[in-house]
Structure 1
Amino acid sequence: MRVLLTSQAGSGHWHPLIGIARALEAAGHEVAFASTPRACSAIEANGFTCFPVGRDESDEVLRERRRYLLSLAHADQPAYMVPMIFAGTTVEHSLSDMLAHGRAWRPAVVIRENLEFAGLLMAEALGLPHAVVEVAAWRPHLHPLAGEALDRHRARIGLPSDPDHSSLFRHLLLIPRPPSLLDLSTLPATAHTIQPLIFDRSGDEVLPAWVDELPDLPLVYATLGTVFNQAPGVLEAIIEGLRDEPISLIVTTGRDQDPATFGPQPPNVHIERYIPQSLLFPRCDVVVTHGGSGTVMAALRDGLPMIVIPIAADQPENARLCAEVGVGRVIEPASRTPEAIREATRDVLEEPQYRARAEHFRDEIATLPGLDHTVRLIENLAISGPISPGI
C-alpha cells in the first residue's frame, strides 16, 4: 500500500509525521512525503522520498511574516495565518504540483498534518481516503477560517462547496494527546486519540558530555522551539531571571541562533543550539517553554512540570490548558520579566503538586494507543473507508 504524507514546510509540522511514516514502512507499506523543496531536503535526509510542491519562502519573507504576526493580538493571528497563508497562498503555490504527484504516484491513502490543505484537496479531487494528524492544539474555531478559504480552491478544481467544513476530518482524525486534555464534545466522530508523536533526532545527535558532569542541583531546561526562538527579549529574560538561582540551567537557542550572542555565563548555565529533548527530558526537573504542542506533549510524556511563556500560534491555548490542569505556571506577554520567570520557577520547583499533576498525565499518555494501532487505523481506512469513533 502506498501512503503519501503531506506537510507545511516547518519542522514542527512534519516531525510528528516521521514516527507514523516509519511505522508504516515497518509494516511493509511504501511511504512518501510531499512538502516544499527545502523541507523535502530535510525529510529526504531522514531516509524518505519527498515530492517537492510549491515554493520555498525566502528567509526575509519568513522574518517579516513573523514580525507582522507578533504585532497582532493573539485573537487576530488566526484570521491572518489560516485563510491567508496556510489555506491561502501556500495552497495556491502547491496545489497543481500536489495534484500532479497524486495522479502520478497514486497513493492508497493521504495523511496530512492539520495545517496542510493541498493534500486534502488532492485527495478529495482524486477520490482518495485521507487522514489528518492534529499537530497543534485542537482549535475547532479555526475550521471555518480554513473552510471558507478552501472553498475557493475547491471551485477552481471542480469540487463542490464544503459549507460545514466536514472535509477537514471526513475520514480519520488522529489527535496525539490524552482525552482528558480535550473538549470531547467538539470532536468529530472520526477522531481517535493516540500517544504523542515525538521526533527530535534527525541525525546522530547525542547529549553533550558535560551533561553527565552536572552537579546535584535541580535541572531546568529552557526552549522557545524553532519558529519563535528569536522573539525579542524572551530568552534573555529567562537567562537573566534564572542564572543566579541554585540550579543547572540548560538553554537551547535553535540551530539558527549562535549561543555566543548571549555573552559569558556562570558555570551553572549552558547554552547550546540544539539538544534532543528525548535525551534531555529524563534528567530534567522543570521545562521553561513557549508552549508549542511538541514541547508540551513531550514534557507531559515524561511527567515534567512547566513554566509556559506563550508567544503566538497555539501556544496561548496550550499555556491556558497547562494552568487549568495544574501542570505549571504561565507568564503572560505583559509579565515576561526576569523576576516573574524566577518566581514562577521557584514555585514550580518547590511545590510538589505541579510534578504530581504532570506525572498523572504521563501515566494517562502511557495508556494511549501507540503507532501499531495508528497503522491499523490507516490500513483500515484504505480498505473500508471512514473509521468509527475511537476516543
Structure 2
Amino acid sequence: MKILFITGGGPATVFALAPLATAARGAGHEVFMAGNADLLPAINASALPAISTTDLPIQHFTTQDRAGHRVDSPLGKPLAEQGNFTGRWFGRLAAASLAPLRHFTQHWRPDLIVGGTTTYAAALLAAHLDVPYVRQAWDAIDARHIHPGANEELQPELAELGLSQLPEPDLFLDVCPPSLRPHQAAPATPLQFILGNQHRPLKPWMYTRTHRPRICLTAGSQVTRDARHRLYEFLTRAIAELTPLDTDILIAAPDALAPDLHAQHDNVHAGWVPLDIVAPTCDLLVHHGGGVTSLTGMRAGTPQVIVPGAEMLAGAARTLADYGAALTLPTGDDTPERLGQACHQALTDDTYRKRAQALREEIQAMPTPADTVHALEDLTHH
C-alpha cells in the first residue's frame, strides 16, 4: 500500500505524524511525507522520504491574503476570530500546496492519504484522487473552531471539486486522552501519542536526574530574539522568576537564542533539548500551551504550569488544569510573581504529580501507532 502523509506549519507538525508514518513504513508499506519546504529537514530527520509542497515560508500565509494584502494577527482577540484567522491561513497554505501535490501524485499515486489536524490539502487531494482520507490530530487542542475559516478560504478549490465544504475524514485518529476529550467532540479512533523528535548525540544530563527538583521551561520552536516577541518575553520573564528557586532549570529553545540565554543565566542549560528524553526526568514542565509540548508532558507523567500564548491554547490548558495535572495562569494574571507561586505549588503539592501519572497511564493504554496501521489497511480494503 502507498500512503502519503501531508503536514504543514512548524516542525512539531512533522514530529506528531512521524510515529504513525514510521510504523506504516515498518509494516512494509510505501510511505512519503509532504510538507512546506521549511519542514523537509525535520521530515528527513525522522527517516522519512520528503516531498516539498511549497517553497513559501509560513510567514507568507500568516501575514497576507491571496491578493497580497496584509493580514493582521488576531492575538488578543476573541477565540472565534483567532480560529477564523488560523483556518484561513492554513487554507491558504493548502491552496498553495495543491498543485505541487497533484503533480507529485501523477507519478506516485497513493492508496491512502493521512493529514494532520489542519492540513486541509490532504482532504482536497484525497477528494481529487478519490482515495480514503485520514485526519490525525496533532495534539489535544480542539480544532473545530478553526475548520470554518478554512472552508471560507478554500471555496474556489472546493467548487472545482464540486464541494461546498471540506469533506470529513474516513477515519479520525485522536491522540487526546479520553479523560480530556470534550463531550461534544466528533467520534474518533484513539491513537497513543508518541513524540517524534529531531535528535543529536545525547549527554548524561539529558537522561539523568540530580538531587534537586528539575524544571524544563520552553516557549516552543518559533521563538525569536525580538524583545517584542510575546513568546520571547514570556521566556525571559519566566527565567527571571524561576532562577531563584532551588532547582535545576533546563530551557528548551532554538539554538540561536542559547548564547543570549547563557549570557543572562550562566547556571542553566539552554538551547536544543530532546523533550521526549528530558521530560520524564523533570518534576515540572513550564510552557506556553503548545499542543505537542502539553502532550509530551502528559505522556511523561510530568506536572505542568501553563501560560497560554493565545486564547486558542487556553481551552486545552484549562481542561488539563481541571483534571488536576497542571496549573494554568490566565492572560493578565501571568505576572512573574504568580508564575513563581504556581511553580512552587506544583512542585510541593504531590496531587499534581499523581494526577499527571494517572494521565500517563491512560495514554499508555491507548492503541499504539503499530496497532493502528491495521485500521489504515482496512480503509483500502473496503
Q: Distance in 2 between matches of 1:37 and 1:276?
A: 23
Kept in 2, the 8 Å contact 1:55–1:94? The answer is: no
1:227 matches 2:219: no
Q: Distance in 1 between matches of 2:60 and 2:256?
A: 14
SS at match of 1:263: helix
Q: 1:168-247, aligned counterparts within 5 Å?
A: 168-169=168-169, 171-188=170-187, 191-200=188-197, 202-207=198-203, 209-210=204-205, 215-228=210-223, 230=229, 231-247=231-247
Q: 1:337-356, aligned counterparts within 5 Å?
A: 337-356=335-354
| CA apart distance, 1:180 | 1.2
SS at match of 1:349: helix
SS at match of 1:335: coil
Kept in 2, the 8 Å contact 1:299–1:305? The answer is: yes
Q: Return closer, same or farther for 1:255/1:56 CA change in 2, 3 Å cut-off.
A: farther
- Give 1:147's aligned residue: 151
Q: Distance in 1 between matches of 2:262 and 2:54?
A: 36
Kept in 1, the 8 Å contact 2:174–2:190? The answer is: yes
Q: Distance in 1 between matches of 2:62 and 2:52?
A: 19
- Give 1:8's aligned residue: 8
| CA apart distance, 1:347 | 0.6
Paired AA for residue 171 in structure 2: L
* Gaps in structure 1 of 5+ consecutive residues: 385-391
The Cα RMSD (Å) is 2.5
Kept in 2, the 8 Å contact 1:205–1:276? The answer is: no
Of the structure 1 ranges 49-58 and 299-308, higher mean CA displacement relative to structure 2 is found in 49-58
| CA apart distance, 1:349 | 0.8
Q: Distance in 1 between matches of 2:206 and 2:52?
A: 39
Paired AA for residue 132 in structure 2: P
Q: 1:1-391, aligned counterparts within 5 Å?
A: 1-57=1-57, 68-70=73-75, 72-83=77-88, 85-87=89-91, 89-136=92-139, 137-155=141-159, 157-162=160-165, 165=166, 167-169=167-169, 171-188=170-187, 191-200=188-197, 202-207=198-203, 209-210=204-205, 215-228=210-223, 230=229, 231-261=231-261, 263-265=263-265, 267=267, 270-312=268-310, 314-384=312-382
Kept in 2, the 8 Å contact 1:6–1:111? The answer is: yes
| CA apart distance, 1:140 | 2.1
State the number of aligned residues. 371
| CA apart distance, 1:74 | 4.5
Q: Distance in 1 between matches of 2:50 and 2:210?
A: 44
Q: Return closer, same or farther for 1:264/1:150 CA change in 2, 3 Å cut-off.
A: closer
SS at match of 1:102: helix
Kept in 2, the 8 Å contact 1:12–1:294? The answer is: yes
Q: Percent identity?
A: 24
Q: Return closer, same or farther for 1:337/1:255 CA change in 2, 3 Å cut-off.
A: same
Q: C-alpha deviations, 1:247-269, integer Å up to 9, x for none?
A: 111112223423424634263xx
Q: Distance in 1 between matches of 2:144 and 2:157?
A: 21
* Gaps in structure 2 of 5+ consecutive residues: 65-69
SS at match of 2:135: strand
| CA apart distance, 1:119 | 2.0
SS at match of 1:333: coil
Q: C-alpha deviations, 1:113-151, integer Å up to 9, x for none?
A: 011111210110110101011113123233333233333
Q: Distance in 1 between matches of 2:79 and 2:220?
A: 18
Paired AA for residue 133 in structure 2: H
Of the structure 1 ranges 329-338 and 279-288, higher mean CA displacement relative to structure 2 is found in 329-338
Q: Distance in 2 between matches of 1:314 and 1:196?
A: 21
Q: C-alpha deviations, 1:205-239, integer Å up to 9, x for none?
A: 413x4557864111111111112565242111111
Q: C-alpha deviations, 1:248-294, integer Å up to 9, x for none?
A: 11112223423424634263xx1321111121122111110111111
SS at match of 1:44: helix
Paired AA for residue 151 in structure 1: Q
Q: Distance in 1 between matches of 2:221 and 2:377?
A: 33
Kept in 2, the 8 Å contact 1:237–1:336? The answer is: no
| CA apart distance, 1:243 | 0.6
Q: Distance in 1 between matches of 2:145 and 2:73?
A: 22
- Give 2:67's aligned residue: none
SS at match of 1:258: helix
Q: Return closer, same or farther for 1:253/1:66 CA change in 2, 3 Å cut-off.
A: farther
